Homo-oligomer: A and B are copies of this chain.
Amino acid sequence: MRIITTVREMQETAERLRREGKRVGVVPTMGYLHAGHTSLIAKARELSDVVITTIFVNPTQFGPGEDFERYPRDFERDRSLAEKAGSDIIFNPDVREMYPEGFATYVEVEHGSTILEGKFRPMHFRGVTTVVSKLLNITKPHVAVFGQKDAQQAFLIQKMARELNVDVSIVVAPIIREPDGLALSSRNVYLTPSERERAVQLFRSLKFAEERIRNGERSVAALRTEMERMIQSAQPSQVDYITFVRPDMFQEIELLQPPSVVAALAVRFGKTRLIDNSIINVPA
């Protein structure tokens, strides 16, 4: 597997692959890969001739006081996992290569970026859509694979790519979970054993919402009250939000409508902030 660290070499490589008629797939990540990421690489493998995994902890999507500095990093482990999952190339630039002195250009989706995660992490999505724009221009893929775990991010990236006419197919792959249901996340490594055990309550609250909706519940207020009670029983340090959004517009709603809804939540255990979500069918 090839490691590329400069924009120029990555662009020349991607351009050559395209000219040779190869279908290029990319999986943008911040590294510290887990089975969620490797499922995205496997999906890109299915859909492409050449798979590029990008590993870049992107400073512009972290706010002041967030965990940019201590975000977990382990390149050798990532290299091995990416290769086993089917990656042909790792693109691993440093911060100065991506953000030279005086950098001032940002890509922003001015809809759906200030609610949910955007409310608790101002500027976060501007950083995400900017770095993804850059990575798409650098890796020139036919297909780019993102995880449903970051549901709002996936929505905004799809909207950005479509509205800026980026000629790429964006694929969103399902959440991968631990056997007990906890969604995989690089940040799970921060959890103490007790927090890890209690954190499964997030998944349980989503399953509970699914069941209540299947049985006819349509009121977000009612669902939220019950989910919050379940989550509070696990003694989180803070519940940032428990909400329901329309999948097509990522707008918060109070009354569920067919055909489907995204239940999304963000909860802190100790200092660790976890997010999870579920796309739930809403019967007519």
Identical subunits present: 2
Please, what's the 1-or-0 string for A1-36, where 1 marks a CB less than 8 Å from any CB in chain B? 000000100010001001101000000000000000
Secondary structure at the A interface, as helix, strand, loop or mixed, is mixed
Chain B positions within 8 Å of A19 at CB level: 18-19, 21
Q: Kindly state the separation between the CA atoms of A191 and B128 in the bound complex, as whole angstroms.
A: 46
Name which of A105, A108, A133, A167 has the most chain B CB atoms within 10 A of its CB. A105
Tell me the chain A residues, 102-132 only, with Cβ under 8 Å from chain B. Answer: 102-112, 129-130
- Is the CB of A137 closer than 8 A to any CB of chain B? yes
- Is the CB of A284 closer than 8 A to any CB of chain B? no
Contact A105 B140 (CB under 8 A): no
Tell me the chain A residues, 246-281 only, with Cβ under 8 Å from chain B. Answer: 249
Q: How far is the CB of A239 from chain B (nearest CB, A)?
A: 29
Q: Kindly specify which of A156-164, A175-183, A204-212 makes contact with the partner chain.
A: A156-164
Chain B positions within 8 Å of A160 at CB level: 105
Contact B167 A140 (CB under 8 A): yes
Q: Which of B103, B105, B130, B167 contacts A137 (CB 8 A)?
A: B167
Binding site for B on A (CB under 8 A): 7, 11, 15, 18-19, 21, 100, 102-112, 129-130, 133-134, 137-138, 140, 159-160, 163-167, 249
